[in-house]
Chain A
Amino acid sequence: MALFMPGDQVTVRKAFPPGHVRTPYYIRGKSGWVQKVLGSFANPEELAYGRDGLPKCPLYRVRFMQSNVWTDYSGGQGDTVDVELYEHWLELFDILRKKEKVCL
């Protein structure tokens, strides 16, 4: 069962574990909103070490404002970037701790 629904505002965990991870460095700590729930898949971070990756993990397409992702972003104000992220990398956006506007 997917924990988040389309429209939910989420923050990517700011974690830097060694080993094989599927969350790009540039998006860690950034906040966006769930665009789509893509289904559940064996965890690639486990498969990478020869294990079965079960239970399957929900995968989300999360949309971010480019201006929130890059400090020096000079493109259009409404530009977004979609990143596919596994559930264990996401937390519900905490409005008390964050000041940026997540959505358009």
Chain B
Amino acid sequence: MKELGRMHHDMGGQDAGPVDQADHSHPDWEKRVDALMMLLSNNKRRIIAVDELRRGIESLGSESYTKLTYYERWISSITQNLLEKGIISTDELGKKMVEVEEQAKAGHSLTGESE
């Protein structure tokens, strides 16, 4: 049952399945997202605070929050924060996304690794 005023991420005390404790590896893009956040939040830059990252993740809405993986949530929030701060624009991002997609279709590796 949905309780009034309870945000989706605030799950303490709710039923949950077993915790998957299996080891897993991180693809390169996840490591890059982590590195990007470290660079944006470090003392030299202080562009996005970790609290802002969390706020962005909590604002995803329950459907996206559930569907996205951990680092997909991070990159969604980083993107929103950078848009809000005017560091990137939606137009710039949209064009870049098309460019990257076309490169991928043309067979270039997104990660820069040999395939």
B97 to chain A, nearest CB (A): 25
**B40-54 interface bits toward A, Cβ cutoff 8 Å, 1 = contact, 0 = none:** 000000000101101
Q: How far is the CB of B93 from chain A (nearest CB, A)?
A: 20
Q: Is B12 an interface residue (CB 8 A)?
A: yes
Check if A48 sits within 8 Å of B4, measured CB to CB: no
Cβ-based interface call for A2 (8 A): no
B87, chain A: closest CB distance, angstroms: 12
**With contacts defined as CB atoms under 8 Å apart, how many contacts are there between chain A and chain B in the complex?**
39
Bound form: Cα–Cα A98–B35 in Å:
49
0/1 string, A38-55, CB within 8 A of B gives 1: 000000110111100100
Query: In chain A, residues 5-48, which have Cβ atoms closer than 8 Å to a Cβ of chain B?
Result: 16, 19-20, 24-27, 44-45, 47-48
B interface residue numbers (CB < 8 A to A): 3-7, 10, 12-13, 49, 51-52, 54-55, 58, 84-85
Closest to B10 in A: A25
The CA-CA distance from A19 to B59 in the complex, in Å, is 8
Main secondary structure of the interface of A (DSSP, over half): loop
A20/B12 in contact, CB under 8 A: no
Are B5 and A49 neighbours in the complex by a CB distance under 8 Å?
no
The distance in angstroms between the C-alpha atoms of A25 and B52, with both chains bound, is: 20
Are A50 and B85 closer than 8 Å at their CB atoms? Answer: yes
Q: A70 and B55: CB pair below 8 A? A: no
Instruction: Tell me whether A20 and B5 are in contact (CB under 8 A).
Output: no
The residue that B55 contacts in the complex, of A25, A48, A69, with Cβ under 8 A, is A48
Q: Which of A19, A27, A48, A70 makes the CB contact (< 8 A) with B49? A: A48
